[in-house]
Structure formats: C-alpha cells, structure tokens
Amino acid sequence: MGGTHSTKNLPKEEIKKLATKTHFTEAQIRRWYKDFLKDCPSGLLNRSTFLSMYTQFFPDGKARQFYEHLFRTFDADASGNIDFTEFLTAISITQSGGPEEKLDLAFQLYDIDRNGTIEESEMTQIIKAIHLMVGEVDDREGNSPAERTRAIFKKMDVNCDRVLTKEEFIQGCLSDEHLYRLLAQTKGGKRKT
C-alpha cells in the first residue's frame, strides 16, 4: 500500500501524502515513523510482532482471535505485513477519525472475506472474538454472539437479504447509539451526526 521505507527518514513526498490522508501533522508523522522503525527496523510489522504487542493489553482474556482480525483489517493490501502507511492510517482513524471513518474501518473488520458485505457468520465470529478478548462469556438468552448478530441484522438489514452492505452498516450504526458503540468499539463520547 504505502511501500516499504526502512531508511531513517521518510521521503518528504510520503510525509506530505500522509499529512493529507491522516489527522497527523508532518512533525507527528516523523515521530511516529521513528518509533515505528524502533519496533520494526525492516519497515514492516509482521503478524507475530503485532499479536505479541497487542495481546498483552488483555492478559485475562483470549485476545489472539480478535487481534488476528485487527491485523487483517490494518493490512489493507493483504500482503501479510503492515507497512508504515497502513499502520499510521489505521491509528489516525482509531484515534482521531470521525464517526464515518471509524465505521468504515469497523466495516472492514467485520467483512472478513473482503467481499464488500458482512454476512451473519462474519459478524458472529467477530462478536465472539470480542467476548473472548474481554473475558465476557454470557450465553444467557439473547446474549450469545449468534443471538446478538441476529438482533443486529434485524435492525440493520433493510432489504432483508441476509447481508449488510457498507451503507446499511454505517447508517444502522449512525442511527443507533448502542449499535454504534457496540460495533465500532468506541469508548465514551457521542458520535457526531
């Protein structure tokens, strides 16, 4: 996607492109790049390093499954590695992106097969991974991942075709605060519509 830059300095053209694409200033981009190279001297973040970095945040849960999906989402070009451009773009969205940017990224997370729609099985898989990660296993009536997915699809699947388009997903989340927080995994603050 953004190419591999394992040199000490990111080319000026790349910095300018990232400054327009992300919510970071050129100085912030340089700092992020310097820190990225400390952890990833090759200029690429591989799956195993990514998983070891992120799974430590949930020592009591089983975070690996969720972070496998997050790695796939950040690896926009499906190369098997996350380059600096992919990394910074995803970080920018999660830290400073607007509601639609965050929901677009969330859609990519749920669209496991990258076919442009979310099937019930995909959403169930992600919700189950989230439950495992946070150590929340609640199979009481209505709370299992499959039952939550069915309830979400009932609200969002406007044309009842058993898949969610990006438009259905984003509009469904923007019109329902609870779904927005659940599916976009945002903490605190309200979405701006």
Q: Which residue has the tokens 């639609």?
A: 100
Report pLDDT for 132: 87
pTM recorded for the entire structure: 0.86
Segments in the chain below pLDDT 50? 1-2, 4-6, 186-193
Question: What digits encode the pLDDT tens for the residues 175-187?
Answer: 999 888 888 764 4
146 CB-contact burial (10 Å; exposed 0-12 / middle 13-18 / buried 19+): middle
Number of H helices, E strands in the chain: 10, 4
Domain with CATH 1.10.238.10 in the chain: 12-95, 100-184
Q: Which residue has the tokens 């300018």?
A: 16
Report pLDDT for 137: 65
CATH, domain range 12-95: 1.10.238.10
The topology (CATH level 3) of 100-184 is: Recoverin; domain 1 (1.10.238)
Report pLDDT for 192: 44
Report pLDDT for 191: 43
Report pLDDT for 190: 43
SS in 3 state form for 140-167?
Answer: CCCCCHHHHHHHHHHHHCCCCCCEEEHH
